[in-house]
Amino acid sequence: MVIKVFLATSSGSTAIKKKQQDVVGFLEALKVDYTQLDIACNEDNRKWMRQNVPEEKKPANGIPLPPQIFNEDSYCGDYETFFDAKEDNSVYAFLGLPPPPGSKQAQVEEEEEQEEEAE
């Protein structure tokens, strides 16, 4: 499973650059394997991203802005949903990845499983 982060390397927007850096930096801190796909220099990447962001997730103008995050072909979300997952300590679930052993998220899931078994 490869996490794909669609970015615009030559974006003139400082807000977009900051969001992209935030996502990439956090994935690196978690040691999550990911691939950066540039939509500014590669028309195929731009087309693929635009076609695969679900309609209900597209902005009013219909053009999703980077960063957009996928797990293979499965849409995870944009910066706002990533940020929410980060705040909720649920980034692995957001990405569709199992939490690494020993992580807080793995411990929470383990406790929930034990509670369900006890019922």
Contacts of 11 (CB under 8 A, 6+ apart): 17, 20, 40, 66
Contacts of 1 (CB under 8 A, 6+ apart): 71, 72, 96, 97
Q: Which two tokens stand for residue 19?
A: 């969001």
pLDDT at residue number 66: 95
Q: What is the mean pLDDT of residues 11-40?
A: 94
Instruction: List, for residues 100-113, the tens digit of each pLDDT value.
Output: 877 766 666 677 77
The whole-model pTM stands at 0.85
* 3-7 and 34-38 beta bridge pairing: parallel
Task: Return the closest-CA partner of residue 69 out of 57, 56, 87.
Answer: 57
Instruction: List, for residues 60-98, the tens digit of each pLDDT value.
Output: 888 899 999 999 999 999 999 999 999 999 999 999 999
Domains parsed from the chain with CATH numbers: 3-118 (3.40.30.10)
pLDDT at residue number 106: 63
